[in-house]
Amino acid sequence: MGELEGKKHVQYIVSVEKKKDSFEALVIEHLRLNGAYWGLTTLDLLNEIEAVKPDEIVQWIMQCQDIGSGGFGGNVGHDPHLLYTLSAVQVLALLNRLDVLDIDKVSDFLRMIVQLYLLVHLSLYLDVAGLQNEDGSFSGDMWGEVDTRFSYIAICCLSLLGQLSKINVESTVNYIVSCKNLDGGFGSIPGGESHAGQIFCCVGTLAITGSLHHVDRDLLGWWLCERQCKDGGLNGRPEKLADVCYSWWVLSSLVMIDRVHWIDKEKLTRFILNCQDKENGGISDRPDNAVDVYHTYFGVAGLSLLEYPGIKSIDPAYALPVDVVNRIFFSK
């Protein structure tokens, strides 16, 4: 089995950061704040956060904030969105610079979005019978695949900011529980198909709020470990190909419910290592494909959960290095 090319991955991340006018940089322009989170967390997990200048990053992040609402956009001048607000909070936590935030302003933005979302969801809920198909399933199209992600983002950010009391945690937990399926998994809406990404969001929300007793650990653990394919990699739902990023979505959930020993760790480690570009650094979704920062991060994060030597431990619920999470919660 090949080894982890940690140094090459660090070079790759730093080079993407510098090539601001390359094709890849253009494609991810609207995702830059997410890219910063993926890239910087990878560097930190590999013990190389010194490869970047924190002050410049903090300054740029604060330029992505929408002054009116308090939320963050994906880049300077972009509309604020929950997704980028989470990345901003995570990167500032990583750099130990949460102090630059006006915490009330950011948490008011989160509260407003959550309330708006619950309102929309509730009115759709009343209409739900009209969306039921003949086979009893629900058509979720009009909601998209975003619901349980919103719950996770709000809970994760507010918890990191020490502001969980700003929203109704109980109703958020109840909503998550209503998305639980008979197979033990979770979907994006009540009745939505189980999907590893949504399972992470739901289990993560329950873990952060101390509500994991709502999970049937054996049933969900069974569904999750069934995600391991013959090639050792994990897929996101039945019949799909293995993909490095699901090493994170599936494994983090398994760790949170204490069932990670149900998968073949060695085969999965080999699958992730086989997705490395050994010459130029970076990790791809599956062997021989082109690398990107997203899969590089989730590959390294997956290896961290597999306790690969030389990588820092990552917290499965907050998706931040364990030492960062401990600093936030235990050393104030």
Which of 12, 72, 186, 249: binder of ligand BD6 (CB under 6 A)? Answer: 249
83 touching ligand BD6, by CB under 6 A: yes
Residues β-bridged to residue 180: 186
Options 130-138, 179-187, 196-204, 275-283: segment touching ligand BD6 (CB under 6 A)? 196-204
Reduced to 3 states (helix: H, G, I; strand: E, B; else coil), residue 291 is: coil
As a residue count, the chain comes to 332
- Residue 83 binding result from Zn ion, ligand BD6, none, given CB thresholds of 5 to 8 Å by partner type: ligand BD6
Nearer Cβ to ligand BD6, position 27 or 55? 27
Nearest to 204 by CA among 151, 240, 166, 245: 151
Least distance from C-beta 58 to Zn ion, angstroms? 29
Which of 16, 153, 250, 260: binder of ligand BD6 (CB under 6 A)? Answer: 153
Contacts 24+ apart (CB under 8 A), 15-19: 16/293, 17/52
Nearer Cβ to Zn ion, position 65 or 198? 198
| CA atoms of 196 and 221, how far apart (whole Å) | 11
Nearest to 250 by CA among 185, 176, 199, 215: 199
33 touching ligand BD6, by CB under 6 A: no
198 touching ligand BD6, by CB under 6 A: yes
Phi, psi of 116 (to 5 degrees): -60, -45
Nearer Cβ to ligand BD6, position 68 or 287? 287
Which of 101, 201, 260, 301: binder of ligand BD6 (CB under 6 A)? Answer: 201
245 touching ligand BD6, by CB under 6 A: yes
What are the distances in angstroms from CA 320 to CA 44, 111, 178, 238?
9, 23, 27, 28
> How many chain residues are in contact with ligand BD6, going by CB under 6 A?
14
Options 112-120, 129-137, 195-203, 267-275: segment touching ligand BD6 (CB under 6 A)? 195-203
- What's the DSSP call for residue 180? B
Residues that bind Zn ion in the complex, under the rule CB under 5 A: 243, 245, 285
243 touching ligand BD6, by CB under 6 A: yes
294 touching ligand BD6, by CB under 6 A: yes
Helix%, strand%, coil% for the chain, nearest 5:
60, 5, 40
Which of 34, 209, 252, 304: binder of ligand BD6 (CB under 6 A)? Answer: 34
Per DSSP, the residues of 20-66 read TTSHHHHHTGGGHHHHHHHHHHHHHHTT-GGGS-HHHHHHHHHHTB-
Residues β-bridged to residue 228: 234
152 touching ligand BD6, by CB under 6 A: yes
Reduced to 3 states (helix: H, G, I; strand: E, B; else coil), residue 234 is: strand
Options 129-137, 194-202, 205-213, 274-282: segment touching ligand BD6 (CB under 6 A)? 194-202
- Residue 215 binding result from ligand BD6, Zn ion, none, given CB thresholds of 5 to 8 Å by partner type: none
Reduced to 3 states (helix: H, G, I; strand: E, B; else coil), residue 289 is: coil
Least distance from C-beta 241 to Zn ion, angstroms? 10
**Cβ atoms within 10 Å of 332's Cβ, excluding its own:** 6
Name the residues that contact ligand BD6, by CB under 6 A.
34, 83, 145, 149, 152-153, 197-198, 201, 243, 245, 249, 285, 294
